[in-house]
Structure 1
Amino acid sequence: MGTSWSARIVDAPEGSTEAIEAVLNRVIAQMSNWEADSAISRFNTAPVGQWMALPAEMLTVLRAGLDMARLSGGAFDPAVGRLVAQWGFGPGGLTGLTEAPNHPSPWTAIEVEGNRARRTADVTLDFSGIAKGFAVDAVAAVLRDLGATHFLIEIGGELRGRGVKPDLQPWWVDVEAPPGLPLPTLRIALCGLSVATSGDYRRFREEDGARLSHSIDPITGAPIANDVASVTVLHDSAMLADAWATAITVLGPDRGMTLATRHGIAACLIRRAEGSGQEYMTPALTAMLE
């Protein structure tokens, strides 16, 4: 998945490390675009129109991604892989640049029926905006099954906390402002909650003096250009926090935060504004911090 993971577990049950690694290996085998033999890679190279049976976990993520696509008007799109590759943020990097097919809404070219799915046009799945969150939830589930009641899981900056630390303090997490922006650190307590952050400072490249974010707007077919530096979302589900953070990032301060507010999502958006940062919070997050 191109990132690291960590787990802080109070009185860790025997076999915790092995169980976590098994979950992560399974997610990679199903949803990593960087693995040629993964289920998602095989789906993306199957002939257009051909049905393919998918693993249950991959289907869960795909269905959630399609639901978020419908909810966000396509701002979150689990079939944006061709565009990601076109801008050099896919497995091939800059050497993998290709001309993406002109499809106005890639997610609408994905059909799901029972335990199988197919592409109806030459689009490709990319779960980079949702799979890490799913993996966090899956690790938390396996730890609960083993009997763990107090832990903090982190995968690539997405976190989920349950219970408390040995000193009975909650799992405090600091969400730092994007580098170079003079804003206070947001401190949150993860008690049965997950947090995910999408930012333009993690994966980007400079081209002709412009910062190209890895977050692609499926509507324009190009990296976002709305000055959004980061979006942080708190949610019961790390998978949905991950997806919401991506959707809000693409939609921007006005449409994104309006949509999040309408659905009661706890979110914080930071926009770059003339060398400083402008912070927006939804009512749900403001209420949590009071």
Structure 2
Amino acid sequence: MGTSWSARIADAPPGSAEAIQAVLVRVIAEMSNWEADSAISRFNALPIGQWMALPDDMARVLRTGLDIARLSGGAFDPAVGRLVAQWGFGPGGLTGLSTAPHHPSPWTAIELDGQRARRMADVTLDFSGIAKGFAVDAVASALRALGAAHFLIEIGGELRGQGLKPNLQPWWVDIEAPPGLSLPTLRVALSGLSVATSGDYRRFREESGTRLSHSIDPATGVPIAHDVASVTVLHESAMLADAWATAITILGPERGMALATRHGLAAMLIRRTETGGTEYLTPALAAMLD
């Protein structure tokens, strides 16, 4: 999936490493666009209108992605893969913009019926805004099943903490400001809690002197152009934190934070300004920090 992972486990039960590896292998086999034989790649290659039975985890992630798409007005879109590829952020590199008409709401062209799904238009699934979070949750579940009670899981910058460190301190995590912005570090304690951050400094491409964000607005079909530097969301579910952070980033400061506040999300948005950066906190996050 083009990223790294780490795990810190207090009194790790036997078989912990093998359990983690098994989870990650399964997620890659089902949801990685970088693997030609993965379930998601095979789904995207099917003729439009043809049903495919999905593995259980993939169906769950797709169902959650469609739910967040509906709640966010399409800002988070699990079917934005065609646009991601066209702008050079997919496994095939820069494919060039399509001459086909842009679908303004790709997720609405995905039909999910129980454990099977199909494409109703020329759109493709891309779980890059939700699969890492799901993998964090799945690893945590596998460790708990082995009897582990105290651990910190990280996959591609998305984290989940459970229990306490051996010194009885919580799993403290620093959420650093984006590079070049002199803002205070946000320190959070993860105990039964996950955190995900979406930022414009992690994946981008330079074109004619312009930085193109990897975050594509499904409504316009182009990379976002507003001044959001990063969005951080804390949630019990890493999968939901991951997806909501993407949605808020796409919507921008006003609409994104309004959405987060409306859904009671603990979120922080950092906005680039001429003088550096400005932080915005939702009421839910402000209450957690009091």
Q: Indicate whether the TM-score tops 0.5.
A: yes
Q: Match of 1:288, as an amino acid?
A: M
Q: Match of 1:120, as an amino acid?
A: M
TM-score, L = length of structure 2: 0.98
Distance 2:101 2:30 in 1: 25
TM-score, L = length of structure 1: 0.98
Question: Does the CA contact (< 8 Å) of 1:199 and 1:231 recur in 2?
Answer: yes
Distance 2:113 2:192 in 1: 33
Q: Match of 1:181, as an amino acid?
A: L
After superposing on structure 2, the runs of 4+ consecutive aligned residues of structure 1 that deviate more than 2 Å are none
Question: Does the CA contact (< 8 Å) of 1:101 and 1:123 recur in 2?
Answer: no
Count, aligned residues: 289
Question: Which residue in the other structure is 1:248 paired with?
Answer: 248
Q: Quick check: 133-142 or 85-94, which moved more?
A: 85-94
Distance 1:270 1:82 in 2: 28
Distance 1:271 1:83 in 2: 25
Q: Match of 2:197, as an amino acid?
A: T
Question: Which residue in the other structure is 1:15 paired with?
Answer: 15
Q: Match of 1:146, as an amino acid?
A: L
Distance 1:73 1:275 in 2: 32
Distance 1:197 1:35 in 2: 25
Give me the CA root mean square deviation: 0.8
Distance 2:144 2:265 in 1: 25
Question: Which residue in the other structure is 1:92 paired with?
Answer: 92
Distance 2:153 2:89 in 1: 26
Aligned-pair identity in percent equals 82
Distance 2:41 2:240 in 1: 23
SS of the equivalent of 2:152 reads: strand
Distance 2:250 2:109 in 1: 20
Distance 1:190 1:11 in 2: 18
Question: Which residue in the other structure is 1:48 paired with?
Answer: 48
SS of the equivalent of 1:93 reads: coil
Question: Which residue in the other structure is 1:110 paired with?
Answer: 110
Distance 2:89 2:42 in 1: 19
Question: Which residue in the other structure is 2:37 paired with?
Answer: 37
The answer as to 2:152 corresponding to 1:152 is yes
**Pairwise mapping of residues 57-72 of structure 1 onto structure 2 (< 5 A)?**
57-72=57-72
- The verdict on how the C-alpha distance between 1:46 and 1:115 changes in structure 2, with shifts beyond 3 A counting, is same
Q: Which runs of 5+ in 2 are unaligned?
A: none
**Pairwise mapping of residues 160-179 of structure 1 onto structure 2 (< 5 A)?**
160-179=160-179
Kindly state the Cα deviation for residue 105 of structure 1 after the two structures are TM-superposed.
0.5
Distance 1:238 1:198 in 2: 13
SS of the equivalent of 2:191 reads: coil
Per-residue deviation, residues 33-91 of structure 1 (Å, max 9, x unmatched)? 00000000000000000000000000000000000000000000000001001100000
SS of the equivalent of 2:233 reads: strand
Question: Which residue in the other structure is 1:124 paired with?
Answer: 124
Question: Which residue in the other structure is 2:258 paired with?
Answer: 258
Q: Match of 2:36, as an amino acid?
A: A
Question: Does the CA contact (< 8 Å) of 1:178 and 1:201 recur in 2?
Answer: yes
Question: Which residue in the other structure is 1:234 paired with?
Answer: 234
Question: Which residue in the other structure is 1:207 paired with?
Answer: 207
Distance 1:102 1:275 in 2: 37
Kindly state the Cα deviation for residue 98 of structure 1 after the two structures are TM-superposed.
4.3
Kindly state the Cα deviation for residue 97 of structure 1 after the two structures are TM-superposed.
2.8
SS of the equivalent of 2:230 reads: strand
